[in-house]
Chains A and B, each alone.
Chain A
C-alpha cells in the first residue's frame, strides 16, 4: 500500500516536472520569434510641421489634419515644436529641420526677425519650401510659398460685427493685443478697426500687453481702472482670454459684459460653455493641416507653381455662447 502511494507520488511529480519543463521551453521558443528588424523602408518625402504651441486643441487639430493628409499622400510627416510659445526652442527646431534637409516645412508664422532670417535665408539656401499655417508672415519678409489658414482680416471683421450686433452701436470696447506685434494679430486688428470705423459711437481702447498670464492680468486691471465703463472686451490672442476674464470677474458681473476672442487659446471651451465668453471666432484647424500638406506637395510635385501668394483661406465662423 505504501509502495503504491509512493509510486503514484513519484509519477505525479514526474508529470508535473515534465509539464513545467515543456511549458518553459515553449515560452522560450515562442519569444524567440521576434527579432530586431532592419527594414529598409522606401524613401518617402519628409515634411515637418513646426509650431510654438504643441498640445493645444487648436494645434492638435492642425496636426491631426496634416497627418491624415500625409498618410493619404504617402509622405512622412512629423510634428515638431515648442510648448507655450517658447521661441528659442521653436527656432531651434526650424534650424534642425533645415539642417536635416527635409523636403518641406509647414510653419506657424512668427513675426520676428530671427524667424524671417531662418525662412528667408537658411531655408532658401537649402532650397526648402516653407508654407506658413494658421499665423501668417508677409511673403515679402519671409519668402514663404503661401499661407494656409483663416483670413484674419475677415475674422476681425466678423468678430466686430458680431459684437456690434450684441452690444449695439455705441460703447467703449477694450481690446487687448500682443505687445510682440504679430502679423496675424495686426490683420485681425485691422479687420476690427475697419468694421468699427463705420460706427463713430464705438470707442476702441487698445491695450498692449505680453501674452503671458501676469502681464495680461496687470493690463486688464489697468484698463479697468482707466475705463470703468467699458462694456465689451476683445482679446486678439486667444491665450489672453482666460486671465482677462478671471480679472474682470473679480470686479464686475461677467454676464452683462461682452467678451470676445479668437479660438487659438487653450482654455476657451469651458469659458464659452459657462457663458463667460460671449463669442469666439472658430477657425478650421483640421482643414488648415490638410490643405497645408496638400499645397506643399502640389508645389513639390510642380503641379501648382507658384502657389497663391495671398494664401488659401479656410473656413471661419462665430460661435456664440447661447448657440452651444
Chain B
C-alpha cells in the first residue's frame, strides 16, 4: 500500500506555511528595540518568563502552520492506494467481451475498429472465450460468451463472424449501457459455467467520443475483477462541419422559412461550405456559408408551400471531412384548425357573458389552431358520440342547463378519448351532475362558497402548480403574479379519493388552489382529471363576471390557450426524433384518427402498431404514422442523427476508466515504469480517503488555536492595564 493524492496541485498550498513563520519573525518582540533613557531602574526579566512567552508564541505559530498544512493536505485529498492487479489472476483461461462501437461518429474509423476487434479475436488462446457486443445508443449482442445450446458460442471463430457482421449505425454513443451489457454477459456466462473465469476482460473499441460519457454515471462502476482495456481508434482526425439543427417557421401566406444551424467543429481553419436544401427529393436552393473555427452560423431558405399542405425535406452540407450530421431532415405540416365545441345552455336566449368572453378569446377569423362552435346540450348529445363529427375539444359551461343525459354524453365523450374543459358554474344543485359526471371524473362539487356576488369579498389563488404544462409558460417572475385575479364565488370541488389521488398516475391532479378558507382548507380551483382514454380540466368557477374577474384579466387568454393546447395534445406540432430513440405515436394522424401503422426510415412496408409495441428507427429519415396499414391519413415526422454525434471532442481512455471502473485494473503487460506513471488513473484501488479526517483535525486544531490565541490576547490585555497612582 502507498499513499497518494487525488489533487496534488493543492500541495502547492504548503508554501503558505511560510506565512505564519514570517509573520512571527517580523513581529517578534526581541526584534523591536526600544531606546530608553536609562536601564538603571529596569530589573532583569526572569528567564522562565521569557522562555514561556517564546514558547507560547512558538506554539501559536506551529498551530497556525498546522492549520494551513491540514487545509492544503485536505484539498489535495490524500488516499491510501493498493494495487488492484492482485484481483486479476495472472494465469488461467480468460473471458473476453469485445465491445465494438457502431455509432454514427465512428464513420470511416469503423473499419479500423473492425480490424482491431478481429485482431483481438485472433489473439485468443485456445482456452479463452470471447463474446461480441456492438453498441451505439443501445447495446446489441452479436456473439454470446456462452450458450448452453450452442457449443460454438464463445469461440474465436464465432467472435470473428460477429465482428464481420457488425454494421455501422446512425445512432449516438452511450458507453455505460454497453459496459453494463458486457458485464451482464460475463455474469450470464458465469451462471452457465458455474464458475468464473480466471480473467475477465472487456475490450472497448471506440473513438471515445465525449458525448457518449454522461456527466453522472449514477454511481455505477465496473467491478474490480473485470479488466477494461480501451482500444482507441479515434486518432487525430480533422474535424469537419455539420448541421446541428433545423427548424421550419411560417414565413408568409404561401411560404415557409427553413433555418439550419451549421457548425464548423474544426479548431484550426476557416471553412467555406455549400449547404443545400432538398425538398421532395429535388434540390431547390443552395447557399454558401463561411465558418470560423469552432463557430456556428444560421443559414435560411425560403420555400414556397401551397396552402394547407406539408413539406418534407432535408438540409445537406457538402463537406469532405468525416463525421456525422452532414444531413438533417425536417417536416412541416400546415397547421389545421381543431374544432372546439362550446356547450352552452343558452339556446334561443340572449348570449351569455361567458360565451361572449370565449368568442372574444377564440375568434373565428384569427389564425389560432382552434375553431370555436357553440352548441346547445341537446344539439351536442348526438354529435359527441359520433366519431365523424365530434370535436377535438369540448368546453362545457352553464351547468344549470346541463341535463343528466347531456352529462352522460359528455362523460362518454371524455371516456372515449375526448378532451374537455368543464367550467363548473351551476348556481343551483349539482346533484345530478355530481352523480353522472363529476364523481366519475373523481371530483365532487359540494356547493358554492357564497350565495351571491359581493365585490368586497373575494378569494385569490393561494397556490399554483407552475410545473404543470398549463402554468409552466407563466412560471417566470414577470408572469406568475395572479394576485389581480379575484374570485367572488366558486364551487367547493373535492376529490373523491383525495388521499389516494397523488399516487395514481391518472388520478385527479390539482393545478391551482384558492387561499385557505376560515377552516384553513385550501379548496381546488383548477383540477386535471382523467376518465377512460380522455382527459378533462375542471374550473371551479364560471366564466362570467359574477364568478370572477378572471375573463377580464390579462391571465385569461394565456391560461385558456395553454389549457386548450394541453387538451389538444400537441397535435399539429412537428416532433423531432433521433435515431435509436423509442418513438411515441402521435395522438392522431391528419385524418384525425389514431395511428395504426408506421413506416420507418429506409423501409417501404408499413408495420402495424401493436399494444406497447416498441418503435425504434435505425436510420435517419422520415417516419410515417398511418391510420391503417393500407392507406389513409398519415403523419410524417423527421428522425435525425443526434447532434452530439458530430461533436469531435474526445474523452481519454484514462478518464473513462477513472469514471467507470471503481476498482481500477492494471494491465499485466504494463512495465514498472509505466505502472508508476499510471498510478493515479490505473493499477490502483483507493483503499481509503483521508480528507474528511483531515478536515476534522483541522476543526480541532482551529479550536485549539482559537483558545490559545484568546489566552495570549487576554494575557496581553491584563499586562497592558495602566499603572495605578500608587505605582506612580
Partners in one complex: no
Residues of B within 8 A of A (CB): none
